[in-house]
Amino acid sequence: MTQRRLVRAGHLAVCLMLCACAPATADAAVEQEIVRLDTARHAPAVLVGGAGPKTLRVPFELPVGARQGPDSWYLVRLRYRVRFARDSGRGFAWVTSTTNDRTAAQIEYTTDRRRGRLSVRRTTVDLEHGQRERSSRSARDSLTFTNYLQYQGIRPGKNMWTIDLEQAGSARVERLEVLGDSAIVQTSRNPFPLTLTAAADRERPQIGERFTIKTVLTARPGQPVRDIVVRALPPEGGGVEILGPAKRRIGRQDDRRRTVTFTARARLPGTHAITVVADSDANRPNANVQVEVRQATRATSAPATAWVLTLVPALTMAAWLVVSRRRQRHLPL
Amino acid sequence: MRSMRTRALIALVTVGALCASAGVAYAATARSGNLTTLYIHEDAFRNYDFTERTVSRTRVDWTVALMFWNNASINRVKNSAIGPLYDQTGGTMHGRLSDNTNSGYVWDDDGGRKTTKCPGAPFQPRNARHYRIYADGDDRLYNLSWGYWVYGSTHWDMDECSLSNPAWFGYSENAEEWLVYDWVNRTGRGAANDWASFYNNEPFRVAGDHIWDSNGYASAFNVG
């Protein structure tokens, strides 16, 4: 009995050890700071608004083969505090971050005075969240902004990271303090976890013929995607119509390939493109399927017609023979 | 004295009425098969703008032939170095678009900017170049190829407010070339004329006061 308990305890201990060593949760991404303002001895960096743009430049290096995607991605994390002058009037101010002259952070402030009081509207756009805005009557604002760099904003070797402050109209930025943990970050988190490909089983259908559009979905390992709706959009002008449901709902997609099919019918001659789009809680991939619709050819029915025409004289001859034999049987001896 | 004052008042009211009517939109019809949705990664937009918030080839205004990219926003373009040249506002039209986020398709409205408010009015030039630009939430979109970007259309307005000459609007291709020239010369940033096909070729065609002339290729403007 005691030995059995010891064996079970041993098994349990092994289990616990394995669980503790198990990989982290599926959605956790690996991140590494490539360059950081305070480490690069550029922080805190203070820019003051003026007639022209004010710029902070931070060089950094990347290894051979560095590129934006598909396995490794680069982000900008910009953290700052800004203060507008009390007499700031109607205008605009922009805080931007650029790598190799390719902008990946653009925070736009619209300032105005209403009943003598300053109003400030801040808008940001990033790849994952689209536009977000915030309005305030305060002359102060602080923000941590993160966004994926442009494809051309990353290259092996020497890179240049710049942070700019600009103003227009009567907007007056008294002080922009860029904080030390602003950084260029490398991450394994793919901003496009859901991928979609689509193809038609017939590239040159004839008018009236049906064909199938086969759509294959998959998600990146470790980044499952939810709330997926796949839609087949027929071309403008009605050259192709979708038969049956043009929309399919999929609850969850992991890294196993899933196929969704749509049925279509060719209606008008010419080249037509069907677009397949997937909405999800992550990204919205799309694919175009091009088909060339041909006129229905008469050659395909000719053999049948020819057979009928050939058979008519043969049948006529056979009928005459039958009739003539019956008459012979009835002649008197 | 009173009759002079009356005449001046009548002239002022007439010009005012003409300028007000200049904003009236008359829909045109796009060439068959042209109106479509263009996709750049996961952003999407219609390749014509519209006289009302309806996607219809009989309710279009002009071909989309402008793409401001990299560090663009509606306000950055309008307040750039071309701002003093294109410094007047125009009538509102509508763009249809969608960005990567799951917000579906949205409308954006813009009156744009033009070189003369009321061309053809007394003491005004007879013509004006006019552009309109669209983006999500009236600001900008973002993708990893184009960065921060907005798109738009352009055309000429001729004798729009004239008391003696008929008004006409169009020649988008020529207006686009002018905008490329103005952008490069005034901002010092690059622009690529006829950079990519937007599948909206409109050969020369007169439809009432709407003169189509667009080669189906959009120009790209680098915004710094």
Whether the model pTM is above 0.90: no
- What whole-number distance in Å separates Cα of residue A151 and Cα of residue A99? 10
SS3 A7: helix
State percent of chain A over pLDDT 70: 82
Query: In Å, how far from its chain's centre is CA A115?
Result: 44
Give me A93's structure tokens.
């101010």
Of A125, A270, A279, the CB nearest to B141: A125
User: CA triplet A166, A171, A174: central angle to 5 degrees?
Assistant: 75
Domains of chain A: 31-187 (2.60.120), 194-293 (2.60.40.10)
Q: What are the chain B neighbours of A288 within 8 Å (beta carbons)?
A: 39
Confidence class for position A317, pLDDT limits 50, 70, 90 = confident
Report the candidate in B1, B23, B8, B4 with the shortest Cα–Cα distance to residue B122. Answer: B8
Residue A26 has pLDDT above 60, yes or no: no
Of A148, A236, A286, the CB nearest to B42: A286
Does A283 contact B224 at a Cβ distance shorter than 8 Å? no
pLDDT for res A327: 56
Give me A301's structure tokens.
């029915």
Give me A96's structure tokens.
């931007």
Residue A331 has pLDDT above 60, yes or no: no
Does B71 contact A236 at a Cβ distance shorter than 8 Å? no
Does B147 contact A128 at a Cβ distance shorter than 8 Å? no
| Spatial contact of B154 and B179, defined as CB atoms under 8 Å apart | yes
pLDDT for res A146: 98
| Spatial contact of A242 and A264, defined as CB atoms under 8 Å apart | yes
Residue A25 has pLDDT above 50, yes or no: no
pLDDT for res A116: 87
Does A106 contact B224 at a Cβ distance shorter than 8 Å? no
Q: Average pLDDT in the A303-309 region?
A: 58
pLDDT for res A142: 97
Q: Which helix (H) or strand (E) segment is A33 a member of?
A: strand A31-36
Q: What are the chain B neighbours of A127 within 8 Å (beta carbons)?
A: 100, 142-144
Q: SS3 string of chain B?
A: CHHHHHHHHHHHHHHHHHHHHHCCCCCECCCCCCCCEEEECCEEEECEEECCCCCCCCCEEEECCEEEEEECCHHHHHCCCCCCCCCEECCCEEEEEECCCCCCCEEEEECCEECCCCCCCCCCCCEEEEEEEECHHHCCEEECCCEEEEEEEEEEEECCCCCCCCCEEECHHHHHHHHHHHHHHHHCCCEEEEEEECCCCEEEEEECCEEEEECCEEEEEEEC
User: CA triplet A51, A53, A55: central angle to 5 degrees?
Assistant: 140
pLDDT for res A324: 65
Does A106 contact B44 at a Cβ distance shorter than 8 Å? no
Q: Return the domain boundaries, chain B.
A: 2-223
Report the candidate in A68, A76, A75 with the shortest Cα–Cα distance to residue A151. Answer: A68
Does A125 contact B70 at a Cβ distance shorter than 8 Å? no
Q: What are the chain B neighbours of A99 within 8 Å (beta carbons)?
A: none
SS3 A116: coil
Residue A305 has pLDDT above 70, yes or no: no
pLDDT for res B88: 98
Instruction: Please count the other Cβ atoms lying within 10 Å of the Cβ belonging to residue A259.
Output: 8
User: CA triplet A164, B141, A169: central angle to 5 degrees?
Assistant: 45
| Spatial contact of B179 and B194, defined as CB atoms under 8 Å apart | no
Does A150 contact B144 at a Cβ distance shorter than 8 Å? yes
pLDDT for res B22: 47
Mutate which of B29, B36, B42 to test chain A, going by most A C-beta atoms within 10 A? B42
Query: In Å, how far from its chain's centre is CA B95?
Result: 10
Residue A308 has pLDDT above 90, yes or no: no
pLDDT for res A251: 85
The tens place of each residue's pLDDT in chain B, 224 residues long, gives 556 766 655 555 555 555 444 445 578 999 888 999 999 888 999 999 999 999 999 999 999 999 999 999 999 999 999 999 999 999 999 999 998 665 678 999 999 999 999 999 999 999 999 999 999 877 999 999 999 999 999 999 999 999 999 999 999 999 999 999 999 999 999 999 999 999 999 999 999 999 999 999 999 999 99
pLDDT for res A86: 87
Q: What is the pLDDT of residues A63-103, one digit of tens each?
A: 999 999 999 999 999 999 999 998 899 999 999 999 999 99
Of A102, A131, A285, the CB nearest to B136: A131
Residue A24 has pLDDT above 60, yes or no: no
**C-alpha distance from A131 to closest chain B C-alpha (Å):** 7
* Residue given tokens 């839609």 in the structure block: A231
pLDDT for res A299: 56
Of A96, A148, A288, the CB nearest to B144: A148
Confidence class for position A42, pLDDT limits 50, 70, 90 = confident
pLDDT for res B107: 95
Does B71 contact A106 at a Cβ distance shorter than 8 Å? yes
How much is the ipTM here? 0.88
Q: Which residue does chain A place closest to B146, by CA atoms?
A: A150
| Spatial contact of A185 and A273, defined as CB atoms under 8 Å apart | no
**C-alpha distance from B73 to closest chain A C-alpha (Å):** 9
Does A101 contact B224 at a Cβ distance shorter than 8 Å? yes
pLDDT for res A49: 84
DSSP state of A186: E
| Spatial contact of A136 and A53, defined as CB atoms under 8 Å apart | no
